[in-house]
Amino acid sequence: MPPTLRDDPVRAAPRAGVLRSLRAREEWKFFAVLPRASRGLCATWWALVVVRGALPAMATVTVAHLVGAVEHGASLWSPLIAVGVVFVTLQALAPLHTEVSANLGDRLALWLHDRLLIATTGPPGMRHLESREMADQLTSARDFDLGIAGPPMNLTMGFVAGGLVEAVAGVGQAALLAAYAWWAPLLVGGAWAATHWLLRESSRWDRHTGEALDAQRRAEYTYRLAVDAPAAKEIRLFGLSEWTVGQFSAARRHLVDLRWRETRLRQRPLRWAVALLVVANGVTLWALARDAASGALDLGQTLLFAQAVIGSSALAFGGLNWALPQAAHSAATVLALGPQMADRGRIGSGTVPADGAVRAAIRFRDVGFGYPGDGGPVFDGLDLEIPAGASLAVVGLNGAGKTTLAKLLCGLYTPARGAVEIDGADLRGLDLESWRRRITAVFQDFIRYELPLRENVAPLGAPDEVIAAALADAGAGQVSDLDTVLSRGYDGGTDLSGGQWQRVAVARALAAVRQGADVVVLDEPTAQMDVRGEAEIFARILRATQGCTTVLISHRFSTVRHADRICVLEKGKVIELGTHDELMALDGRYREMFDLQASRFVHEGSDAVVE
Ligand SMILES: Nc1ncnc2c1ncn2[C@@H]1O[C@H](COP(=O)(O)OP(=O)(O)OP(=O)(O)O)[C@@H](O)[C@H]1O
C-alpha cells in the first residue's frame, strides 16, 4: 500500500496542528454544540444557510439567461420561470430562516441554561460560587441570557445565520467570476473578504475584561434591587431610589461607552479598505467593460459577470464578525464552566456509606481552615467533641467561626488541616450524599422557597402526615395550608412574617429528622422570633430532636443554657467547654457574656427570659 499523507509525520503534523487549533476555537465549539440543542432544527438551519447562500448566484445566472434569451430572440418561458422560482424562493426562505434561527437560539439558550445550572449546583462544595474568578466566569457565561451586553441568543442566532448566508452568497457570486477570468474571483472576493481583517478591531469588543464584567454585574445587581420586593423597603426608607437608578444607568452607560470606544470604525483601516475595494472592483469592471465593448462578451454574459462583481460584496465585513464570536464565547464559557466549577467545588468524598452514623461521637480533630482569599485562618487547631445523642451549644462573638463550624460539619468545605471525624472515621472517607441524608440544618440565612408550604417543608417530598407533624413541632401548623405558594407573586400565593418563615425553616429540619436525619444543626434558629415564641419553639425543637446529635448556634443565652454542653469559640479555638452550671462556676468568658445579656433583660424588665 502506498504511504498516505497520514503516514508522513512531517507533512501530517502541520495538518493535525491546524485541526487542533481549529477545534480549540470557540466558533468550532459553538457549532459543535448546536445539534445538542436540537438536531432537527440544526440540520434545517444549516440547510437553509446553504440554500439561501446559493440562491443569489442562481438569481444572477437566471437573470443573465433571461437577458441572453431576449437578446437572441429565444423562448422566454423557461428563463422567466427560473427567475420567478429563484426570486420567490429567495424571499420565502428569509422569514423561515429567521423563525428557525430564533427557535434554535431559544433551544440553545435552554441547553446552555441547563449546563449552567448543573455546573453551579452540581459540585458538592460551594467554593466555586464564592471566588471572584468564578464570579467573572459566571457573568461572562450568562451573557447570552441577560441581554445586558448584547442581544439574547434567539436574536444572535438570526445574525449568525444572516452572516453565514451572506458569506456563502458572496463566495457563490465570486465563484461565478471564475468563468470570466481566473483572477477575478480572487481579486474581488479577496478584497471584500479582506475588509473582515482590516476592520476587525471594530467588531471586537472584549466584554470579558474585569471592567466590563464589573459594570455588567453592577447593572444586574441594581436592576434586581429596583425590581425585587425585598429591597423595596430599604430603597424607599433610605431614599435610595435615585441612587439605584443612577447606579444602573451609570453601569449601562459605562458598558455602552466601553463598546463604543472599542468598536467604533477607525479611519486608517477604513481608508485602506475603501482603497482596496475601489481598486479591485474598478479593475474587474474596467476589464468587463473592455471585453463587452470589443464583443468578447455578449449582453447576457456582461450582465452575469457585472452582477457577480456586485454580488461578491456579500463577503463584506458585517454582522458575522461580532455575532458569531459573541454567541460562541458565551457557549464556550458555559462549556468550560462545568469542569472548572466541578474542580473548585470538589469536596473529598469517599465511598463508605454514612448509614447508621452517629453512634459514638462527632469530633473536630486539630482542624485548620480558612476561606479563600487573604482573610486568614478561621480555625487553627480546633478540637471539639460532640457525643452522639447530645446537644452542644456554640457561642462566641460575631465572626468567631460558629457558622463555619456548622458548614464544615455539613461537608460544605473540607478542613485544610486535621479532620472532622464521625465515629472516628474522617468525613472525607464517607459517602457525602449519604452523610447529608443523616444531617439537617436550619441556617442563619435559610431559603424562603417560592413554592407551596408542602415543598417548603419537604422539598424532595414526604407524606402529608410527616409534613403536618413537622409543622406542628415547629409551631407553624397554622401559617397556611399545604398547597398555598409562599410568595405573593403567584395566584393565591401568600407571604409570611420573618418569624413564621423561620418556623417553616425549622419545620423543614424537623421533617428531615422524622425521615431519618439524626444530626441537627441549628444556626440561630430563633433569631427572628419574639421572646415568647423563642422559648416555646426551643422547647418544641428539643422535644422533636430528642436522641439526635444537636449543634445549636445562638447568641441567646436563655436558649443556649438548656444544651447538654456549651462551648465558647474565640479566635478559632474552643476556650471554654462545659454545662451551663460549670461554665457559670468557671466565671470566665461565658459567664461574662451571660451576665451581660441577663442584666440587659433584667434592665428591660424581661428577666423571665434568662430565668
Ligand atoms: N464565605 C466566606 N468567605 C470568606 N470569608 C468568610 C466567609 N464566611 C465567613 N467568612 C469569614 O470567616 C470568619 C468566621 O465567620 P462565621 O460566619 O463562621 O462567624 P460566626 O461566628 O458565625 O459569626 P456571626 O455570629 O456573626 O454569625 C469571619 O471572619 C468571616 O468574615
Q: Is residue 595 part of a domain?
A: yes
Query: Is the domain of 121 the same as that of 239?
Result: no
Calculate how far, in angstroms, residue 64's C-alpha sits from the geometric centre of ligand 1: 77
446 three-class SS:
coil
Protein residue with least CA distance to atom 13, ligand 1: 399
Calculate how far, in angstroms, residue 529's C-alpha sits from the geometric centre of ligand 1: 23
Query: Is the domain of 131 the same as that of 219?
Result: no
Nearest-Å Rg of the Cα atoms of the chain is 35
Per-residue pLDDT band for 123 (boundaries 50, 70, 90) equals confident
pLDDT of residue 149: 59
Q: Residue 136 belongs to what H/E stretch? A: helix 132-141
Mean pLDDT (whole number) for 186-191: 92
Query: Is the domain of 221 the same as that of 140?
Result: no
C-alpha grid cell, residue 462 = 414526604
| Angle made by CA atoms 588, 368, 581, in degrees to the nearest 5 | 25
Contacts of 565 (CB under 8 A, 6+ apart): 390, 391, 392, 393, 577, 578, 579
Stated pTM of the model: 0.76
pLDDT of residue 501: 92
Query: Is the domain of 371 the same as that of 337?
Result: no
Protein residue with least CA distance to atom 16, ligand 1: 401
Calculate how far, in angstroms, residue 569's C-alpha sits from the geometric centre of ligand 1: 13
Q: Is residue 412 part of a domain?
A: yes
Calculate how far, in angstroms, residue 409's C-alpha sits from the geometric centre of ligand 1: 15
pLDDT of residue 463: 93
Per-residue pLDDT band for 226 (boundaries 50, 70, 90) equals confident
Contact 444, 523 (CB under 8 A): yes
Q: Is residue 188 part of a domain?
A: no
Calculate how far, in angstroms, residue 541's C-alpha sits from the geometric centre of ligand 1: 25
Domains in the chain: how many in total?
3
Which ligand 1 atom sits closest to the C-alpha of 375?
5
Calculate how far, in angstroms, residue 125's C-alpha sits from the geometric centre of ligand 1: 16
Q: Which residue is listed with cell 402529608? A: 464
Which range (93-102, 347-356, 546-555, 598-607) has the least confidence?
Answer: 598-607
Protein residue with least CA distance to atom 28, ligand 1: 399
Q: Could you tell which of 402, 444, 528 is best to mutate to test the pocket of ligand 1, judged by most ligand atoms within 8 Å of the CB?
A: 402
Q: Is residue 53 part of a domain?
A: yes
327 vs 172, more confident: 172
Mean pLDDT (whole number) for 157-186: 92
What does each C-alpha distance from 582 to 461, 567, 569, 576 come to in angstroms?
43, 11, 16, 10
Q: Is residue 197 part of a domain?
A: no
Which ligand 1 atom sits closest to the C-alpha of 371?
4
Which ligand 1 atom sits closest to the C-alpha of 400?
21
Which ligand 1 atom sits closest to the C-alpha of 373?
4
Overall residue count recorded for the chain in this entry:
611
Calculate how far, in angstroms, residue 378's C-alpha sits from the geometric centre of ligand 1: 8
Query: Is the domain of 397 the same as that of 253?
Result: no
Q: Could you tell which of 371, 521, 553 is best to mutate to test the pocket of ligand 1, judged by most ligand atoms within 8 Å of the CB?
A: 371
Which ligand 1 atom sits closest to the C-alpha of 406?
18
Query: Is the domain of 58 the same as that of 158?
Result: yes
Protein residue with least CA distance to atom 27, ligand 1: 398
Task: Supply the DSSP symbol for 370.
Answer: E
Distance, CA of 472 to CA of 536 (rounded, Å): 12
Q: Which domain holds residue 118?
A: 21-177+319-344
**pLDDT single digits (tens) 68-89:** 898 888 888 898 999 999 999 9
Query: Is the domain of 118 the same as that of 40?
Result: yes
User: Does residue 35 surpass a pLDDT of 60?
Assistant: yes
pLDDT of residue 13: 58
Protein residue with least CA distance to atom 24, ligand 1: 398
**Binding-site residues, ligand 1, Cβ < 6 A:** 130, 371, 373, 375, 378, 396, 398-404, 444
Cα distance from N-terminal residue to C-terminal residue, the chain: 97
155 vs 97, more confident: 97
Query: Is the domain of 438 the same as that of 330?
Result: no
Per-residue pLDDT band for 2 (boundaries 50, 70, 90) equals very low
Per-residue pLDDT band for 9 (boundaries 50, 70, 90) equals very low
Q: Could you tell which of 126, 378, 526 is best to mutate to test the pocket of ligand 1, judged by most ligand atoms within 8 Å of the CB?
A: 378
Query: Is the domain of 422 the same as that of 565?
Result: yes
pLDDT of residue 366: 93
* Residue 523, strand partner residues: 553
The CATH number assigned to the domain holding 386 equals 3.40.50.300
C-alpha grid cell, residue 392 = 452542644
Task: Supply the DSSP symbol for 427.
Answer: G
Distance, CA of 570 to CA of 250 (rounded, Å): 43
Query: Is the domain of 228 the same as that of 256?
Result: yes
Q: Which residue is listed with cell 468564578? A: 134
Q: Could you tell which of 132, 367, 404 is best to mutate to test the pocket of ligand 1, judged by most ligand atoms within 8 Å of the CB?
A: 404
Query: Is the domain of 553 the same as that of 410?
Result: yes
Q: Could you tell which of 403, 522, 570 is best to mutate to test the pocket of ligand 1, judged by most ligand atoms within 8 Å of the CB?
A: 403
Protein residue with least CA distance to atom 31, ligand 1: 399
Q: Is residue 366 part of a domain?
A: yes
Tell which phi-psi region holds residue 467, choosing left (phi > 0), alpha (psi between -120 and 50) or beta: alpha
Calculate how far, in angstroms, residue 397's C-alpha sits from the geometric centre of ligand 1: 11
C-alpha grid cell, residue 109 = 439558550
Query: Is the domain of 172 the same as that of 107?
Result: yes
User: Does residue 142 surpass a pLDDT of 80?
Assistant: no
Which ligand 1 atom sits closest to the C-alpha of 444?
27
Instruction: State phi, psi for 142 to the nearest 5 degrees.
Output: -85, 5
Which ligand 1 atom sits closest to the C-alpha of 407?
18
Calculate how far, in angstroms, residue 407's C-alpha sits from the geometric centre of ligand 1: 10
- Of 220, 243, 264, the residue at which a domain comes to its end is 264
Q: Is residue 400 part of a domain?
A: yes
- Average pLDDT of the chain is 86
Which ligand 1 atom sits closest to the C-alpha of 404?
18
